[in-house]
Amino acid sequence: MIYTLTCLNECWNTFSDRQREDYLFQIRHLYCLAGWWSEFGDTIEKLARIISGSHCFVVAVQETGVILGMGRAISDRASDAYIQDIVVRPEARRLAIASSIMKIIMDRLEQDGMTWIGLIAKQGTQPLYRGLGFSEIPGAMPMLSKKIFKRTLWY
């Protein structure tokens, strides 16, 4: 399967309105597949802000224009960054798309001077991240505010 990796937030303004809208709906579909999209507050406009506000937002796109996977990083743009939202369409899994997306993100973060790069691995995805050099943080536990997320799929 042939696909191109693109840092979407860097070229977002070069796309036509139609292509941006198509990408937004495809990315929303990926968020839905992962269970990360709430019908109560998540809009296409919010998704556009997520893309443009990310340190980098990488998509794997087939020649046909179908987005196979995505991932992004957020950062303070000085030293620390978090990788999140890595997801690949079920029919495109086991093709090294997630690891390719991760490598592009990691290269970009390292190139931009990030010295601390973290992530929260969903249960069962640890082997992917370990293979890319990540390990558990001893004595640490991810936490989430119930107050903020009580209307979303997280709670």
16 assigned to some structural domain: yes
Contact 20, 12 (CB under 8 A): yes
| Contact between residue 55 and residue 74 where contact means Cβ atoms under 8 Å apart | yes
In a domain, 81, yes or no: yes
The closest alpha carbon to 131, from 116, 145, 144, 121, belongs to 121
Q: Does the residue 53 lie in any domain?
A: yes
**Residue 49 falls within a domain, yes or no?**
yes
- Cα gap 120→151, rounded to integer Å: 21
Q: What is the pLDDT of residues 96-125, one digit of tens each?
A: 999 999 999 999 999 999 999 999 998 899
Count the domains in the chain. 1
What is residue 15's DSSP assignment? S
Tens digits of per-residue pLDDT, 14-36? 889 999 999 999 999 999 999 88
pTM: 0.88
Residue ranges making up the domain that contains 105: 3-149
Instruction: Supply the CATH number for residue 140's domain.
Output: 3.40.630.30
In what side-by-side order are the strands of the sheet with 116-119?
3-7, 56-62, 67-75, 80-88, 116-119
154 within a domain of the structure (yes/no): no
